[in-house]
Chain A
Amino acid sequence: MKHTLSVLVENKPGVLTRVAGLFARRGFNIDSLAVAETESHSVSRMTITVDEQDTTVEQVTKQLHKLINVLKITDLDPSGSVERELLLIKVKADASSRSGIMQIVEIFRAKIIDVGPEVLIIEMTGTREKVSALMELLAPFGVVELMRTGRIAMSRGKKAT
């Protein structure tokens, strides 16, 4: 089962290695990972998605808690949270295909952020499913390159994640 762990850590050198290393040596696989500073300079947030059994996720959570630099871990409930990832995709686009691509971009409320004579770069944020759907629709035009970030997620309601 997919779990999204939102992990607050001290913003210090080596903390990412400690967290990633723990996953590796306990045999847990990371699906996606996003790390950046939070509203406080001294604290970073790691959003880690894993596809593991509930008992495994419980064990990894407990092990993560033992790292001195880990401050807080939330296993986000999908219905009680919103999630986004960012996609950048470079698609082949000549005169004949350009308008078709632009229509799709509009429907998905994505953005064209760079136009070249033979390619377009498109940016989109959305849920994993929506990002995947756009990728599928653009595939027939010829994808030159594709990048997506790890997922970030935030709990709904007035309390902080």
Chain B
Amino acid sequence: MRAANVILEALKREGVDTIFGFPGGVLLPLYDALYDSSIKHILTRHEQGAGHAADGYARASGKVGVCMATSGPGATNLVTPIANAYMDSIPMVAITGQVSRHLIGLDSFQEADVTGITLPIVKHSYLVQDSESLPRIIREAFYIASTGRPGPVVIDIPVDVCKEEMDYDPSAIPAMHLPGYRPNVKGHPKQTKEAARLIGSAQRPVIYAGGGIIMSGAADELRELAIYGHIPVTTTLTGKGGFPEDHALSMGMLGMHGTQYANYAISQADVILAVGVRFDDRVTGNLKTFAPEARFIHIDQDPAEISKNVSVDVPIVGDAKKVLATLLTELKQLDLSPDRHVPWMEQVEAWKQNHPLVIRQSDDGEIMPEAAIAKIYEVTGGDAIACTEVGQHQMWAAQHYLCRRPRQFITSGGLGTMGFGFPAAIGAQVARPDSLVIDIAGDGSFQMTLQELATAVQFDLPVKVCIINNQFLGMVRQWQELFWNKRYSHTCIECQPDFVKLAEAYGAEGYRATKPDELEEVLRTAFASDRPAVIDIRVKREANVFPMIPAGGSVHDMMEREP
């Protein structure tokens, strides 16, 4: 069998049904094999789109996303998606073509040292040296990408390797031998007991949950534990949906643009149960003043996250789902009284009542951006898979698009990649063909990857792009307004295409809403359509995202509303 066919057979064995990719010279053997393969190939219009689509596919499905690009510029165009997947711990396998083995290192046409370039942003990588190792490498790559703390794995394959003839016997693939890779799954029993004791003795407990809940499929365990322990829950941006945000115990998101009540609760908590989080600076602000009274229990799959930013009292390395289940069993043995911290729950409730998230209504007939998100939430019944780009609209979406289930909110958290949301939504739609998939976008971000409209149209993927259009690079403009004397250096992007005509030019549907009373009807029509659509929502141009804790600040520096 030709090695290119072996690659596809090996991918099928790993459960791959879809590849997002873009062909090129050194990928000719592989694309020739794809021509009559049962694996579906989604041709994007840029390799970055393929990478983010694979990422969105992985986030929506929980499976490993697969993307493919040719050598040199094709592969370097995957660098941003790989970094994005690395920062948010998304299981992804990126297959890149490489020049023939005898041309490597000679500055050959379309040659780039891809394993070298991606070294700091991969969980692991392979430069395939011979066709015989392909079945083993592909098996290892999927195992490494999807187990432990997930992440991207790059397989760089020289074109002459793909052309070789080889024997392929799936039953003869040697057993995986990865002596340096043994993710710890079960938490330490003594530590778990100690964590239960600490939670049981807490007067002001808070659960701080992140993307690890989603990765590990621990949402049920988390909910059960929070309800049993009567503990308020705040989630990070990537943890959204890990705990139902319409639940009485939910405090929404914490951090820079988190809810006031979540940040107040964290700042006064005496015990914080941190699960699948990494104490990112957008969450903690100034580490010296972050949760000053709290003792920390930290459950994480990755030992390197323990005490990386915050010194932890009870570390538990393991899979969140398993550890939370054990922890709940331990807690139940303590036979906790449900009203052991009534004053705390009253305090949290009072903060919620007195400092709610506000949906402003404009007095001059303009659409307020957060009101647009609230309307999208209402019209979708809160059931859509909501992808976002990066910027103000992303924070408004995080605040106002409440999520009830995991894998419902797909956003670039760690890397903050503008242009991520639309291709990610395409990937999510492939993974969930029957779901309504929307991309809550900014006009700046959308213009970074909008060529994927052709992909959505070609493959009948009815993604709905809702542009929160303020004709600014809004988040940077907000910082310029608040911290740089309103000197709007290069953030005004009034020169932009007519997004309605643009969508139509691509064969998608285009809509526009400029007044609050137009919005609902436009959204309903667009969402009811079975075709991809772009909805240009013109919003108040200089609206800011609040509350806001300035970078490196503490809860005391919080700005509640426009100054």
- Chain A interface residues toward B at CB < 8 A: 9-10, 13-14, 17-18, 21-22, 25, 55, 58-59, 62-63, 65-71
- Chain A residues, Cβ within 8 Å of B495: none
- Chain A residues, Cβ within 8 Å of B302: 66
Q: Mark B86-99, 1 if CB is under 8 A from A, else 0.
A: 00000000000000
- Chain B interface residues toward A at CB < 8 A: 115-116, 119-120, 123-124, 127, 144, 178-181, 302-304, 306-308
B181 to nearest A CB, angstroms? 5
Question: Across the interface, do A69 and B119 meet the contact criterion of CB distance under 8 Å?
Answer: no
Rounded to whole angstroms, the CA-CA distance of A71 and B181 in the bound complex is: 8
**Which of B116, B123, B304 interacts with A65 by CB under 8 Å?**
B304
Question: Across the interface, do A68 and B178 meet the contact criterion of CB distance under 8 Å?
Answer: yes
- Chain B residues, Cβ within 8 Å of A63: 304
**Which of A25, A59, A69 interacts with B180 by CB under 8 Å?**
A69
Which 5 residue pairs across A and B have the least CB separation, nearest first?
A62-B304, A68-B124, A71-B180, A68-B181, A25-B120
- Chain B residues, Cβ within 8 Å of A59: 304, 308
Question: Across the interface, do A17 and B119 meet the contact criterion of CB distance under 8 Å?
Answer: yes
Rounded to whole angstroms, the CA-CA distance of A55 and B124 in the bound complex is: 25
A62-B120 contact given A68-B144, A69-B180, A71-B180, CB 8 Å threshold:
no
A21-B303 contact given A67-B180, A68-B180, CB 8 Å threshold:
no
Rounded to whole angstroms, the CA-CA distance of A58 and B304 in the bound complex is: 9
Question: Across the interface, do A62 and B303 meet the contact criterion of CB distance under 8 Å?
Answer: yes
- Chain B residues, Cβ within 8 Å of A17: 116, 119
Question: Across the interface, do B179 and A71 meet the contact criterion of CB distance under 8 Å?
Answer: yes
Rounded to whole angstroms, the CA-CA distance of A25 and B119 in the bound complex is: 11
- Chain A residues, Cβ within 8 Å of B304: 59, 62-63, 65-66
- Chain B residues, Cβ within 8 Å of A67: 180
**Which of B180, B307, B308 interacts with A10 by CB under 8 Å?**
B180
Can you name the residue of chain B whose Cβ is closest to the Cβ of A59? B308
B113 to nearest A CB, angstroms? 10
Question: Across the interface, do B180 and A18 meet the contact criterion of CB distance under 8 Å?
Answer: no
Question: Across the interface, do B181 and A14 meet the contact criterion of CB distance under 8 Å?
Answer: no
Query: Told that A55-B307, A62-B306, A66-B302 touch, could you supply 12 new A-B pairs with CB distance under 8 A?
Result: A14-B115, A17-B116, A21-B119, A58-B307, A59-B304, A62-B304, A65-B303, A65-B304, A66-B123, A66-B304, A67-B180, A70-B180
- Chain A residues, Cβ within 8 Å of B127: 13-14
Rounded to whole angstroms, the CA-CA distance of A62 and B305 in the bound complex is: 9
- Chain B residues, Cβ within 8 Å of A55: 307
- Chain A residues, Cβ within 8 Å of B181: 68
Rounded to whole angstroms, the CA-CA distance of A121 and B180 in the bound complex is: 42
Question: Across the interface, do B115 and A21 meet the contact criterion of CB distance under 8 Å?
Answer: no
Can you name the residue of chain B whose Cβ is closest to the Cβ of A64? B304
- Chain A residues, Cβ within 8 Å of B180: 9-10, 67-71
Rounded to whole angstroms, the CA-CA distance of A67 and B306 in the bound complex is: 17
Can you name the residue of chain B whose Cβ is closest to the Cβ of A43? B179
Can you name the residue of chain B whose Cβ is closest to the Cβ of A15? B180
Question: Across the interface, do B303 and A18 meet the contact criterion of CB distance under 8 Å?
Answer: no
- Chain B residues, Cβ within 8 Å of A58: 307
- Chain A residues, Cβ within 8 Å of B115: 14
Rounded to whole angstroms, the CA-CA distance of A152 and B35 in the bound complex is: 55
16 A–B contacts, CB within 8 A, in A order = A10-B180, A14-B115, A18-B119, A25-B120, A59-B304, A62-B304, A62-B306, A63-B304, A66-B123, A66-B304, A67-B180, A68-B124, A68-B144, A68-B178, A68-B181, A71-B179
